[in-house]
Amino acid sequence: MTLVEITPDGYGVDIDIAYATVHNFTGKPVYRRAACYLHADTAELVRRAVELAAPLGYRLKILDAFRPSEAQWKLWEHCPDPNYIADPRRGSPHSMGAAVDLTLVDATGGRELDMGTGFDDMRPASWHGATDVPIQAQRNRLTLLGLMTAAGFDFFRNEWWHYQLFKPRGRYPVLSDSVLPEGMM
């Protein structure tokens, strides 16, 4: 299994791994070390999304990528809600390196675009089709959705920030922290 490290210089993205901070739904760091890895197939699509976003004046800001299976268990124990957290017994696309959580930033000013809710907001207002967020946030979500689907990603309807490879279960194994050169947990 080949995981590729995603770096700002190597991929032209901003990275702010939320689960290595207190800025996530658990209110505490889940990862001991912030790092951004993806399966090579996923990394290729991220590169394509970066290329599509640049002429529009946007950059991608990655909030989570590969999530070791140990971290998936921690998230599930904190919130065992399959509407937002993949049951670790089934496997999360994140734990396969097949999913990425991200947002858009203005390439000139570096500010995040308004998406109507924050990352990890587990309410229907975070769904892609939510119309109870400001019109500009709906436009921004649709721009992100368009860029990511044009790059070849599938999306999760309950989280505007979540994109993944199509049908990753059965194609990619669930991986633990031990596959990394330096662990995140």
> Which strands make up the sheet holding 162-164, listed edge to edge?
14-15, 58-64, 99-106, 162-164, 154-155
Query: Which tokens hold the place of 53?
Result: 């976003």
38: closest CA among 75, 105, 93?
93
Pairing between strand 58-64 and 14-15?
parallel
134: closest CA among 111, 114, 105?
114
Query: What span, in angstroms and rounded, lies between the C-alpha atoms of 72 and 51?
Result: 30
Strand partners, 164: 99, 154
Q: Do residues 31 and 21 lie in contact, with contact meaning Cβ atoms separated by under 8 Å? A: no
Range list of H helices, the chain: 8-11, 40-53, 69-78, 135-151
Q: Catalytic: which of 44, 51, 159, 182?
A: 159
Active site residue 44: no
CA 74 distance to own-chain centroid: 17
Which positions are catalytic? 159
